[in-house]
Structure 1
Amino acid sequence: MKTEFHKYLTVFRKQRGYTQAQLADKLGISRSTYANYESGSRSPDFETLERISDILNCTLDELFGRQRETEEGNHENLCGGYTETACESVTPYRAEGEKSRRQSKRKLLIGAQDFRYLRERNAYYVDKTQFVEQFLDSWYQVTLITRPRRFGKTLNMSMLAEFLDCTKDSEALFKGTKISKSEVIDEINQYPVVFLSFLNVRGDTPHEMIQQLTVALQGEYARYYPIINAGTLTKEQKRVFDQNYLCLCQNDSPEEKAGCLTHAIADLCQVLETYYNKKVYLLIDEYDTPFIAANSGGYYSQVRGLLAGMLSSALKGSSSLEKAVLTGIQRVAKENIFSGLNNLIVCTIADPDYDDCFGFTEDEVKELLAYCGMEFTESIREMYDGYRIGKADVYNPWSVSCYAARRELQSYWVNTSENSILKDALGERGRSFAEDYDKLIEQGAVEAEVELSAAYYEKPGDAALWGLLINAGMLTISEKIDENRYRLRVPNQEVWKAFGELTSYYLRKRESMSFFSEKYSELMDQFGISKKMVLSTAENNIVSSRMMSVIQINGKLYFQTDKTFRKYRQIVQNPNVSLCIDNIQIEGRCKEIGRPLENNEFLQKFQRCFPDSYKRYSLLENEVLFEMTPTYIERWVYIDSVPFIEIYDVSNEEYRLDEYKGR
């Protein structure tokens, strides 16, 4: 159906204050691709649509021209008359006084993740309010729930916050839901709540991530700012609140913001407890996003202290906490955020807790499709069913909702950007994983050791990779065999299609890695045991070069230097260096591994190859040994008098031969 999506996209972008270039960067696409979206010459896929709606804080229906009701009950038409909808089964919101069967029919708001927004617009809602009762009845102070993306985590957290928050009036929103028939309804809007979403806390640099983290906390500080002048808080509490809020709002340096962020959540909880005379509920959605993004971006070590400190102080160091719930795709165990918590429950998809709260049951799917005038068929079950969470069999809620809206049985959930994480992980694994992976593809199921208690990047290994595939929704558990051993299977046809692409990539990668290994071994054999090479180091935009005696051991390069020398300081400051000789340039990363005397293999080879240098320097007290791990190598070669560049991308285990074309 023809839409005016491009016009609404332009309006929402301008309203939110983004340029085309800024929004393209946030989406991770080229600026020309984004410009084509706004010109109408190209349409984004569903994955990109959802990201656009998240960034612009609007629903997919609004992006396709749905009218949005204003507080006065009138229609706000953002584009001057365009009112086309995303799908014909969805009807526009109407003022209460207007009568017609079509007008009174509830809408299907694809992409809406705000509970109040959804309920106030009389949208179709698959009732998951049992989540509230299960959470309040739990004996655990801190709850961590891991589920695949798009399984309803954000909407459930929004619903929980709406129910608990004492600053809200939410009774009408829960009318007719399961929770309204429970005794728990008496607790509605009775507690102070801090609700944070880390969904967009990511970036290409530590500075960008810290800025996004600042934005996430800024909103809650702004929401509670009026209470500081109510006369209830101590002078010290007012000072700390003001200081934190000022730091969050001003354009301070990343270091200053990091110092404030570390204790900002705990400080806010303490202020709220004093003001309301009640302990605080802390809700953090997508808590693991910044950890994953920092690891992918290569700056994890620069923000790990901040992220771990902020969450640890809020969860372990705050006496103002009543309960906390965090959601994410996987557990972050490395930073000991949850260690020392005696009252913690981690609910993975293998556990029965909250098993019916995320994902649609078959009865819920049938009810939704009947409401949309559609039949439930075996094809729908084969396409979207198959997930086992705890003791519940559930469907992928995103895919089912999109199918109900578009009425086309196709893949909606699987996307290439998510698969990039899996591709990287698959490319790193060895022969043992390859055998089990082949069995999975051939038979549709496999028995394996699974690690669900830590993120893959923290604990790389076969068990953690199987855990990553489960947490990502690519596999599901069909049977528990032993403590950490499960029988796994691909859940449905939608995911099987993704495995086709993933397997094709994996086979190409394995072949490429095997070829690279051969070529790299040949290169190191030709390099030999030792070489005199030019070492280039850089510090504060100053590059220095000097001749070094280098030893090669098992594909890594070693050299020694005096720690009082400038080159030592440069390497410590910036461990990225290069070594050159004749037609070869080797780029890599250095690390100090002690004194030469402490490494017998190096010392023996160095003494044999460079006896004079050994006598003069190796036994000195200040002498230190560096190990360089190559990451990228270029070698110039001539084939039939034609110049070529051999490229060894060591980090990705890829080799290629490029003809030199000149400048």
Structure 2
Amino acid sequence: MMTCREKAEEWGISIRAVNQLCKSGKITGAVKNGKSWEIPDDAVRPADGRVSSGKYIKNNATNEKKPLPIGISDYVRAQSEYYYVDKTLLIRDFLDRKTLVSLFTRPRRFGKTLNMDMLRVFFEISDEDTSRYFIDKKIWKCGTKYTEHQGRYPVIFLSFKDVKFDSWEATIEKIAELLQEEFGRHSELKSSKRLEKFEQEYYRKVLEGKANEVELSASLQKLSKMLFEHYGMAPVIIIDEYDTPIQEGYTKDFYDEIISFMRNFFSGGFKDNRYLSYGFLTGILRIAQESIFSGLNNLSVNSVMDEEYDEFFGFTEPEVCGLLEAYGVNDKEEELKAWYDGYLFGNKEIYNPWSVINYISKGCLPQAYWVNTGKNEILDDVLQTANEEITEKLYALLRGEQVVARIDQNVVYRSLAEDPANIYSLLLVAGYLKTTKKELQGDGSWLCQVSIPNREIAAVYKKEILSHLMQIGAIDRTTANRIAESLYAQDLKKLQKGIAEYMNKAISFYDSGTEGFYHGLVLGLIAMMDNQYRIKSNRESGDGRYDISMFPRDRKYPGIIMELKSDKDLNDKKLDDLSVEALNQIDDKRYDEEMLEDGIKNILKLGIAFSGKKVKIRMK
């Protein structure tokens, strides 16, 4: 028997990849002994779809040395000019299920638009032979049961991903423009002898941009009927990023108008539409409570919680390993995993595809690529509605902890005001959280353990939560930097001045001032230091529970223990006494025991006392 390391060397792949093959049962005769796998000496490497020793297997031969598809959502171009990760088995799984209308909800930049364009090219009737774009793909190997659908249907394709405007007037104008372009794409209807005169008049009205809002709301149903009459085949309707204009309506105060329009628009296209072969929608949220899909009992929703289609949006681990090997950067696997892995869709571990391809194309420079692709308005809204309990949980997430949350997949933006706890549902579907454990409840919601997926998302949490604490404008980042620097330098005077300056400039934010509030304040101010420190809060050590401990990642920095206390209306003398009491408690309760056991000898102890906006710090 051989170890995973020995087999990895023999096969020319990573140890991690061999472990994954063993876990998935792809290596015949492999058995687990304790925590390690034992593999038969004569075991043959499985055909796992990856490359070996710099040589490409047949499936990936066309990917060699091609550029990475950053921002490419055109399927024909992506699969011919760029490195393409084959997701065509999505077609097989869909045709096996034969669901009339499917809604796929995933975070932004997880390949939704590219997959929808792939479906368009596969199903759509065309003057050219579009089968050539699939002959070398996985779907073509599945047989005629699936390939007979290729190029058979008229297709209506609309993408709302760029419908982002400040007013309803501009939004409906853009939607009218998109419909105008899609009607124009079906120019065969202009002279079709199979259409009634009133249908041709309606077609020309939309094409010339003269249709009003009510007429546009019926356009999906009318266009599908005209295509059916012309071709004798009901069309496939694909709507990409259907909820983008709805999100804009929520943040820009035209929510009622967009909801009213979309309700009629989708109802005509998908509800009881006998001129529909199949329907596909993608988005971030399922907007069910607003009755956009009211009565649409043929709708199948596939979210991040569901196992169906779990591997088709985002990159799986074998796909990422193939990418790394194709570009000769296998040694970056662990770094890439720490930054961009961690999502769990259904039961499948998923990497953020946008960040992965940017990371590799930028010479394996780890940074937050995905969070810079759009505004983090969801986090802004979350932080505006967060109560003290939620804020405490957000800090726990920031420290790398797991928290328990109820996840309702039908949550909508307006429900934030009704129940701020719904923010966890929004954060999960938007890609800011992952589930580590889930249990389905009787009402259809999930009780989950959630955490931050990876270092990339931790970076945006740190940035956004810190900005929230600073009340975005109440204080600039230089104050927070000064506080971090003073901790490094063990400069008590500078530290006290920095915290006091912050509190004095954010007057209205400090009217309450409970100890838990000050606890959160300090955690937020030191959040930017998590690259140098592992920050722990409210943990047991010695004879009690300390408030905050900072364990250095590099032993050239000291360990830091903070004990916080607060009281109302204290004069300077009593405030100083309270800081001494906090400092003495660190020694009395032996809060340094955990650090000492970890081999940290240089420990900085801080007793911090608050009263209103005043602060006093004692150090030793």
TM range (shorter): 0.5 to 0.7
3-state SS of 1:414 partner: helix
Matched with 1:271 is: 226
Residue 447 of structure 2 corresponds to: 485
Partner secondary structure for residue 73 of structure 2: coil
1:560 paired residue number: none
- Distance in 2 (CA, whole Å) between partners of 1:470 and 1:116 is 32
3-state SS of the aligned residue for 2:376? Answer: helix
Q: How does 1:567-578 map to 2 (within 5 A)?
A: none
| Post-superposition offset of 1:319 | 1.8
Q: Could you tell me which amino acid in structure 2 is paired with residue 275 of structure 1?
A: H
Separation in structure 2 between the aligned mates of residue 481 and residue 516 of structure 1, nearest angstrom: 38
Correspondences of 1:46-85 after superposition (within 5 Å): none
Q: Is the counterpart of residue 202 in structure 1 residue 202 in structure 2?
A: no
Seen in structure 2, the aligned counterparts of structure 1 residues 273 and 147 have a Cα distance that, compared at 3 Å, is same
Q: Distance in 1 between matches of 2:390 and 2:119?
A: 40
The CA distance in 1 between the partners of 2:63 and 2:112, in whole Å, is: 30
The answer to whether structure 1 residue 117 and structure 2 residue 77 are counterparts is: yes
Q: 1:143 aligns with which of 102, 108, 123?
A: 102
Segment of structure 1 superposing worse, 431-440 or 143-152: 431-440
The one-letter amino acid of 1:288's match is D
Alignment of 1:92-171 (within 5 A): 105-121=65-81, 123-167=82-126, 169-171=129-131
For 1:243 and 1:451, the matched residues in 2 are separated by 42
Match of 2:324 in 1: 369
**1:181 match:** 141
Query: Residue 459 of structure 1: CA displacement?
Result: 4.9
Work out whether residues 450 and 467 of structure 1, in 8 Å CA contact, stay in contact via their aligned partners in 2: yes
CA gap 1:433/1:190 in 2 versus in 1, 3 angstroms: same
Cα distance in structure 1, aligned partners of 2:348 and 2:366: 24
Give the conservation status (yes or no) of the 8 Å contact 2:250–2:413. no
Deviation string, structure 1 residues 375-426 (Cα, Å, up to 9, x no partner): 1431111111110000100111011101111111222111384323312221
How many angstroms apart in 1 are the aligned matches of 2:428 and 2:203?
A: 41
Look up the equivalent residue of 2:340 and give its one-letter code.
Y
Deviations 1:89-128 (A, max 9, x none): xxxxxxxxxxxx999842323111100122343x210000
Residue 194 of structure 1 deviates from its aligned partner by: 0.4
Q: 1:198 to 1:458 in 2, by over 3 A?
A: farther
Tell me which residue corresponds to 1:457: 414
> What TM-score do the two structures reach when normalised by structure 1?
0.59
Kindly indicate whether residue 367 of structure 2 is the aligned counterpart of residue 413 of structure 1. Answer: no
Q: What CA deviation, in whole Å up to 9, does each residue of 1:548-573 have, x standing for no partner?
A: xxxxxxxxxxxxxxxxxxxxxxxxxx
- Distance in 1 separating the partners of 2:281 and 2:337: 30
Separation in structure 2 between the aligned mates of residue 458 and residue 241 of structure 1, nearest angstrom: 39
Q: CA deviation at 1:517?
A: 8.7
Picking from 388, 395, 398, the partner of 2:354 is 398
2 CA distance for matches of 1:411 and 1:135?
33
Higher RCO structure (Cα 8 Å, ≥6 apart):
2
Counterpart contact for 1:142–1:324, Cα < 8 Å: yes
Residue 305 of structure 2 is matched in structure 1 by 350
Q: 2:370 aligns to what SS in structure 1?
A: coil
Contact kept, 8 Å, 1:334 with 1:458, in 2: the verdict is no
Q: Over aligned residue pairs, what C-alpha RMSD do you find?
A: 2.4
- Tell me by how many angstroms 1:201 deviates: 1.5
Who is 2:344 aligned against?
A: 388
Letter of the 2:317 counterpart: E
SS in 2 for 1:358: coil
State the SS of the aligned residue for 2:375. Answer: helix
Partner of 1:515: 508
Matched with 1:320 is 275
Indicate the structure with greater strand content.
1
1:171-570 map, 5 Å: 171-183=131-143, 184-246=146-208, 249-250=209-210, 257-375=212-330, 376-407=332-363, 408-415=365-372, 417-460=374-417, 461-483=419-441, 484-509=446-471, 515=508, 518=511
Deviation at 1:294, TM superposition (A): 1.1
Distance 1:278 1:347 in 2: 27
CA contact (8 A) 2:437 2:449 kept: yes
Retained in 2: the 8 A contact 1:452–1:464?
Answer: no
Report the identity percentage.
33
User: AA paired with 1:507?
Assistant: L
- Within 5 Å, give how 1:10-89 maps onto structure 2: none
Report the secondary structure of 1:202's partner residue. coil
Equivalent-residue separation in structure 1 for 2:296 and 2:215 (angstroms)? 24
C-alpha deviation, 1:438, in angstroms: 3.0
Shift of the 440–109 alpha-carbon distance from structure 1 to 2, 3 Å rule, reads closer
Amino acid corresponding to residue 354 of structure 2 in structure 1: W
Task: Tell me the amino acid that sits aligned with residue 335 of structure 1.
Answer: E
Code of the aligned partner of 2:381? D
Instruction: Please state how far the C-alpha of 1:437 moved relative to its aligned partner.
Output: 2.1
Shift of 1:160: 0.6
Give, in whole Å, the separation in 2 of the partners of 1:341 and 1:103: 41
Q: CA deviation at 1:232?
A: 1.7
Residues 180 and 206, structure 2, Cα contact 8 Å, conserved in 1: no
Tell me: CA distance 1:513–1:269, structure 2 relative to 1, closer, same or farther (3 Å). Answer: farther
Q: Distance in 2 between matches of 1:424 and 1:267?
A: 38
Q: For residue 472 of structure 1, what is the amino acid of its counterpart?
A: A
Amino acid at match of 2:164: R
Cα separation, 2, equivalents of 1:261 and 1:459:
31
User: Contact between 1:450 and 1:463, CA under 8 Å: does it hold in 2?
Assistant: no
TM-superposition CA deviations, 1:450-497 (whole Å, max 9, x none): 122122334542342101111121101111034221010111111111
1: distance between equivalents of 2:169 and 2:373?
A: 27
**Paired amino acid for 1:265:** L
* 8 Å contact kept, 2:315–2:351: yes
Amino acid at match of 2:137: T
Query: CA 1:133–1:293 in 2, change beyond 3 Å: closer, same or farther?
Result: same
Distance 1:514 1:164, change over 3 A: farther
What is the rounded CA distance, in whole Å, between the counterparts of 1:504 and 1:395 in structure 2?
26
* 1:446 to partner: Cα distance: 0.7
Per-residue CA deviations over 1:534-559 (Å, capped at 9, x if unaligned) read xxxxxxxxxxxxxxxxxxxxxxxxxx
Counterpart contact for 2:225–2:275, Cα < 8 Å: yes
Write out per-residue CA displacement over residues 628-654 of structure 1, whole angstroms, 9 at most, x where no aligned residue: xxxxxxxxxxxxxxxxxxxxxxxxxxx
Pairwise CA distance, 1:514 = 8.6
Structure 1 residue ranges (4+ consecutive) displaced by more than 4 angstroms after TM superposition? 101-104, 509-514, 516-519
Unaligned runs of 5+ in 2: 1-60, 473-502, 513-620
